[in-house]
Amino acid sequence: MTSWTTANIPNQSGRTAIVTGANTGLGLETAKALAAKGARVVLAVRNLEKGEAAVEWISRSVPNADLELQRLDLGSLKSVREAADEIRAEHDTIDLLINNAGVMTPPKETTEDGFELQFGTNHLGHFALTGLLLDRLLPVAGSRIVTVSSIGHRFARGIRFDDLQWERSYNRLQAYGQSKLANLLFTYELQRRLIGQHTAALAAHPGGSDTELARHLPRAAQRAVPLLRPLFQEAAMGALPTLRAATDPGALGGQYYGPDGLGEQKGHPKLVTSNDRSYDIELQRRLWAVSEELTGVTFPVLQDARA
């Protein structure tokens, strides 16, 4: 079978895509590829100055790119609500929501709302954004929500419901893993609730990609990065699983895409599986209920589909 590349992306003309964290790395490459295929792409970014640089960079490669810039700080529920209101005011329908932005292994820090930074940004921010934009996706045939997880979800021992914000102790790697496991639990539960709707929920992971996301790694790990760089792939390759999940006509709701190389570190996108915990239906439902409580965002149109 021929390896899947951006050449396989169907024409996206007339479609609207929201890409979070689109100012750098995987999000930037995702936005560029979608724009090159004719989509109107909304770059949802925390730093507008960096966002403007991203728009300029994409426009140099894709002269006719249809791009918009939207401020979005996923670490602030107030910002998420404001961004959702502004997006809704500009767009009656949305075809693609790419939940890409994230932070990885920072020192202990909390969001504006008091959530552990990785859980609050990587999961709760995207959970809230998805809920607030969902009614713009539901009427659109073929619309998709793609949430970017990570091989790092395997680091998580589960979801620490007794200490979700890591107040008793903090392990930055396990906290990152928890947030990425939460991305998958959210995707699988969302897809079950979307059964019978026009919209599908999928997940993807980039393998080992050489991006700015690793800037918060502990000092010892930072020293090892140059030695490990041959194991990493460029951001353009790392974005392919997300792009396939978002645009492949054969992709189905509930699927998970990652690289096809050894250990899913590098390569072209293929269907992969996540760890056993991610498929635990009761865990998915419990996280969903807690996420609604913490964010104040509900998905009223969707029923809790009992397996």
State the residue for tokens 């003309």. Answer: 13
Asked if 176 is an active-site residue, the reply is yes
Angle at 59 between CA 27 and CA 93, to 5 degrees: 60
Which is catalytic among the residues 176, 188, 256, 257? 176
Residues 6+ apart with CB under 8 A from 64: none
Q: Where are the beta strands (DSSP E) in the chain?
A: 16-20, 40-45, 66-71, 96-99, 144-148, 200-204, 256-259, 269-271
Q: In what order do the strands lie in the sheet with 256-259?
A: 66-71, 40-45, 16-20, 96-99, 144-148, 200-204, 256-259, 269-271
Residues 6+ apart with CB under 8 A from 197: 138, 302
User: Based on the number of CB atoms within 10 Å of its own CB, is 66 exposed (0-12), middle (13-18) or buried (19 or more)?
Assistant: middle
Instruction: List C-alpha distances in Å: 83 to 46, 142, 196.
Output: 10, 24, 28
State the residue for tokens 């700080």. Answer: 73
Residues 65, 115: contact at Cβ < 8 Å?
no
Residues marked active site are found at 176
